[in-house]
Copies of this chain bind each other. A is one copy, B any other.
Amino acid sequence: MIVDAQERRVLNGHTTLKTRTNKERLETVLHAIETRMHDVVDSDVDVLRDASRHIIGAGGKRIRPRLLVLAYMATGGSDADVTVDPAAAVELVHTASVVHDDINDHGILRRGRPSVNKLWGRTFALLAGDFLFTKVYELMAPFGDMNVVLSEATVALVEGETMQAAAVKDSNFTREVYTEIIARKTAALFRSAAEIGARMADAATAQIEALRGFGFNIGLAFQIVDDILDIVGDEASLGKTAHLDVQQGRGFAVAHGEGGDVMDSIKRRMLEGDTLEAARVQARMLVEHAVAMLDVLPDSDAKNELIALAYSTIERTA
């Protein structure tokens, strides 16, 4: 029996060739997604190109495009290059909403850089966000039915952002309202990313449903942890203006408070010490629930990466 260097690594229990190749393939696709986002926002209108590349180039966790690509690979998709444009589109939906969010919240720091709003002003930030939304549309235009999936999520995202602004305005931030807000503003887009990946791989209905549920639940967990970090984090590690949520009377801490002065209520709750811990427990349960849903998928490197991605949403400090 001839054993070459690569097979020997397998036999020795090291990373398998298959694993290494799949990891390389994933990284190659993720890199192509970065390039696609950078390229698609090119424009002879300098401010749109520059503002878009400023926010895209600042990075971000890229969890949504990674989710889409992994959902594709984990359900048998064999040519991950086909996911580049939809994955770029999903990340740009998020990016557009971030740019508009920073206008409404007066956020001046985002991903460790000054926000588009801060650098270019409100008028151009509004237009840059619109531009990013139109680029989502351009990227997705050739993808037929996938547009139905993504359009649902973008509608939900804007509804969630609006419910949040309305809840702050009306001082109506109950636990139920909080859950509905994060379901729409965050979890719906995670769900659509996972669904698009699975559908593009022509996955069976049960697998598509599993990935929808997986995406939705880790989306909820991700947002809960985001809100925890907004309270306990500082700007240096978060890379964005911290405590905005609390100052503006939203996020789960407010949802668990009793009204009255927002900061006072939150501080009191935090001193009592159970709110953050309860939120952490809830996020972990959502992730475990999500991971259990993947049982319908055959074992694969991509499935393992999905599980790792799920836990990464709660095991982070920024």
Contacts and interface: CB of A to CB of B under 8 A. Distances in A.
A155 interface: yes
A42 to B, nearest CB: 11
Interface string A251-271: 000000000000000000000
A47 B166 contact: yes
Contact of A134 (B103, B122, B126, B155): B155
A119 interface: no
A134 B151 contact: yes
A127 interface: yes
B140 A147 contact: yes
A142 B100 CA distance: 27
Interface string A145-181: 1011011101101110111011000000000000000
A162 B121 CA distance: 13
Interface of A is mostly: helix
Contacts of A144: 144
A220 interface: no
Contacts of A130: 97, 100, 129, 133, 158, 161
A138 interface: yes
Contacts of A161: 127, 130
A94 B70 CA distance: 37
A166 B134 contact: no
Nearest to A132: B158
Contacts of A155: 131, 134-135, 137-138
Max chain B Cβ within 10 angstroms of own Cβ: one of A103, A129, A141: A141
A78 interface: no
Contacts of A43: 159
Contacts of A12: none
Contacts of A166: 45-47, 124
B104 A126 contact: yes
Given A130-B161, A135-B155, A137-B155, 9 more contacts: A45-B166, A103-B126, A127-B162, A131-B158, A133-B134, A134-B151, A138-B151, A142-B147, A144-B144
